[in-house]
């Protein structure tokens, strides 16, 4: 028995040492490979992050990205590789922020104006001006490119302009005994028509309800229509104004009267097929991209489009958003990344112009950010619903503001507290204005536009 125990202990003892020896050996063997990511990174393809993945809502959109990258790779030594991030994670998730925080941000990615300052103020955006010739720079209207510029340098190349409008279901209108002559032109008319369209299974009108910069983006035109601004020319908050209060109250009334939902389907108010197409809402506040989405995902549903209604005494204005290519100044090859952005979207070559036309008319349904693309697209921008946007909705478009995250959070909270929280719009506007002033006083980043 003693002998046996002794043997067992002896084996255990040897085993411990073996474990440590083998562990140390494996560790030593692994050491040379730990940092290989960096040693191989120089020759590795550049990473291009975006959210138009194969199998997404509109197949032509991911194909456009694939074709663009394939075209570049066929003619350049520095290759580029597409990587996909789910839309919700891209806009409100951790993927990009953790990547940049750990120094592993993508070489090329896309940003919306609402998120531009986060990256510019973080110092990660490459100046793209040297890669775009003067003629191509002039091809972008100032109203489109301004919110991607700092000190006259271009840090993002827009791929689209996406004005907001109202889409409506013709079937729902007919069921309610309405027709195109009943299309509302004022806020009061919209609430009245929405009331007629509301049933026990359908809302009359839909505004986005999810907190975030997309909801802010969709609310800005209602602020502007009455002459409101969140920042005055003196740099101080202009949020505490009658126009702000009216705009907040308008959305609040829509929800309070039960004609607008407190929740939206399909991940957000940007999803037209999930909300308008499903019959959840009869009128939806959504952008031009919904034309392609409806064609692809609700092709048999007849719908119409009208301009954003305005308040009494207000002036028509809508907001034009849109994503832009940007390059990481701290990426593995910022020069090549910058060249790619310019080659893809901002060259005077026919291929570059056609690529923009193709994105705005085939892959998506957007207004082009370039004059040359508008001309090259010709009838594609003038026919049908695109023509409606070109002729009626797009004129009067104001660029989406670029604001730091702190500002959009304050505005987002104001919208949420009034629209869904039922709080007094005047009190909320005043409190938000004080918060904005406190922030503006200490803000030192690029100009807020």
The footprint of another protein (CB under 8 A) covers: 2-3, 5-7, 9-10, 13, 16, 20, 92-94, 97-98, 100-101, 103, 118-119, 121-124, 200-203, 209-212, 258, 261-263, 265, 280, 330, 405-406, 409, 413, 416-417, 419-423
Tokens of 347: 């060259």
Kindly tell me which of 167 and 214 has the beta carbon lying closer to another protein: 214
Cα–Cα dist 150/113, whole Å: 13
- Residue 136 C-beta: closest distance to another protein, Å: 29
Cα–Cα dist 355/154, whole Å: 20
Kindly tell me which of 7 and 375 has the beta carbon lying closer to another protein: 7
Strand, coil or helix: 32: helix
Helix runs in 273-423, H state only: 290-297, 334-345, 350-358, 371-377, 384-388, 405-419
First to last CA, the chain: 85
Kindly tell me which of 37 and 262 has the beta carbon lying closer to another protein: 262
The torsion angles phi and psi of 399, rounded to 5 degrees, stand at -65, 145
Kindly tell me which of 186 and 423 has the beta carbon lying closer to another protein: 423
Minimal CA–CA distance to 194: which of 203, 207, 186, 182? 203
- Residue 176 C-beta: closest distance to another protein, Å: 16
The DSSP line for 380-424 is GGTSHHHHHIIIIISTTEEEPP---HHHHHHHHHHHHHHHTT---
- Residue 125 C-beta: closest distance to another protein, Å: 10
Cβ neighbours around 360 below 10 Å, total: 29
For 3, 202, 273, 419, 425, the CA distances from 258, given in Å and listed in that order, are: 85, 10, 22, 12, 18
- Residue 296 C-beta: closest distance to another protein, Å: 22
Kindly tell me which of 3 and 312 has the beta carbon lying closer to another protein: 3
- Residue 89 C-beta: closest distance to another protein, Å: 10
Minimal CA–CA distance to 309: which of 183, 424, 194? 183
- Residue 341 C-beta: closest distance to another protein, Å: 19
Tokens of 68: 């663009």
Kindly tell me which of 9 and 335 has the beta carbon lying closer to another protein: 9
Minimal CA–CA distance to 113: which of 90, 149, 147? 147
Tell me the Cα Rg of the chain: 26
Cα–Cα dist 124/107, whole Å: 10
- Please check whether residue 448 is in contact with residue 403, taking contact to mean a CB–CB distance below 8 angstroms: yes
Strand, coil or helix: 108: strand
- Please check whether residue 314 is in contact with residue 103, taking contact to mean a CB–CB distance below 8 angstroms: no
Kindly tell me which of 122 and 141 has the beta carbon lying closer to another protein: 122
For 81, 191, 432, the CA distances from 234, given in Å and listed in that order, are: 45, 35, 18
Kindly tell me which of 218 and 372 has the beta carbon lying closer to another protein: 218
Kindly tell me which of 229 and 406 has the beta carbon lying closer to another protein: 406
Kindly tell me which of 297 and 412 has the beta carbon lying closer to another protein: 412
- Residue 203 C-beta: closest distance to another protein, Å: 7
- Residue 87 C-beta: closest distance to another protein, Å: 14
- Residue 448 C-beta: closest distance to another protein, Å: 15
Cα–Cα dist 105/123, whole Å: 12
Kindly tell me which of 274 and 336 has the beta carbon lying closer to another protein: 274
- Residue 230 C-beta: closest distance to another protein, Å: 17
Strand, coil or helix: 139: helix
Nearest 10 degrees: Cα torsion 18, 20, 25, 30: 140
């Amino acid at each position: 028995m003693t002998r046996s125990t002794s043997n067992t202990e002896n084996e255990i003892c040897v085993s411990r040492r073996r474990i440590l020896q083998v562990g140390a050996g494996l560790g030593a063997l692994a050491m040379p490979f730990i940092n290989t990511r960096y040693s191989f990174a120089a020759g590795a393809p550049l990473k291009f992050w975006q959210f138009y993945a194969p199998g997404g809502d509109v197949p032509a959109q991911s194909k456009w990205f694939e074709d663009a990258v394939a075209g570049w790779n066929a003619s350049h030594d520095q290759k580029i590789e597409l990587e996909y991030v789910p839309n919700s994670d891209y806009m409100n998730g951790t993927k990009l922020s953790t990547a940049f925080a750990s120094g592993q941000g993508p070489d090329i990615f896309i940003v919306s104006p609402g998120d531009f300052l986060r990256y510019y103020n973080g110092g990660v955006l490459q100046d793209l001006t040297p890669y775009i010739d003067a003629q191509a720079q002039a091809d972008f209207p100032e109203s489109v490119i301004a919110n991607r510029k700092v000190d006259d340098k271009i840090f993002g190349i827009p791929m689209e302009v996406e004005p907001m409008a109202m889409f409506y279901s013709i079937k729902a209108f007919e069921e309610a005994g309405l027709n195109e002559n009943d299309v509302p032109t004022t806020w009061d008319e919209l609430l009245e028509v929405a009331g007629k369209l509301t049933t026990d299974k359908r809302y009359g009108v839909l505004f986005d309800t999810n907190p975030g910069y997309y909801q802010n983006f969709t609310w800005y035109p209602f602020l502007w229509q009455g002459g409101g601004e969140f920042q005055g020319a003196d740099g101080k908050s202009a949020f505490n104004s009658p126009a702000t209060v009216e705009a907040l109250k308008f959305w609040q009334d829509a929800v309070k009267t039960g004609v607008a939902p407190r929740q939206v389907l399909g991940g957000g108010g940007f999803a037209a097929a999930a909300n308008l197409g499903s019959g959840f809402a009869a009128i939806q506040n959504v952008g031009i991209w919904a034309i392609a989405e409806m064609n692809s995902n609700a092709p048999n549903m007849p719908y119409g489009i009208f301009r954003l209604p305005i308040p009494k005494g207000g002036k028509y204005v809508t907001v034009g958003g849109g994503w832009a290519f940007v390059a990481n100044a701290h990426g593995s090859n910022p020069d090549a990344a910058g060249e790619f952005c310019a080659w893809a979207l901002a060259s005077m070559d026919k291929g570059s112009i056609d690529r923009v036309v193709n994105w705005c008319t085939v892959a998506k349904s957007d207004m082009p950010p370039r004059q040359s693309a508008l001309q090259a697209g010709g009838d594609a921008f003038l026919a049908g619903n695109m023509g409606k946007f070109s002729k009626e909705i797009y004129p009067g478009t104001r660029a989406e503001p670029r604001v730091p995250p702190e500002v959009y959070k304050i505005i987002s909270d104001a919208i949420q507290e009034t629209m869904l929280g039922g709080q007094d719009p005047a009190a909320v506007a005043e409190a938000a204005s004080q918060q904005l002033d406190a922030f503006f006083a200490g803000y030192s980043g690029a100009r807020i536009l």
